[in-house]
Amino acid sequence: MAGKHGFGATFGLHDGVAIVAAAEVLAVTPPSPTIETIDTTNHGSAGAMREFIAGLIDTGEGTVRVNYLAGSATDLNFSEAAVSREVRAWEMTVPGSAGAWKFSGNCVVTSYEKDEVVIDDKMTALLSFKVSGAITEAAAV
Q: Which of 40, 42, 11, 37 is nearest to 24 (CA)?
A: 11
With bands split at pLDDT 50, 70 and 90, how would you rate the model's confidence at 95?
very high
Q: Which of 2, 4, 8 is nearest to 93 (CA)?
A: 8
In tens, the pLDDT along 19-72 reads: 999 999 999 999 999 999 999 999 999 999 999 999 999 999 999 999 999 999
pLDDT given at position 2:
73
| Three-point CA angle 108, 117, 13, nearest 5° | 25
CA distance 36 to 87: 23
- Residues paired with 126 in a beta bridge: 65, 113
CA distance 51 to 38: 8
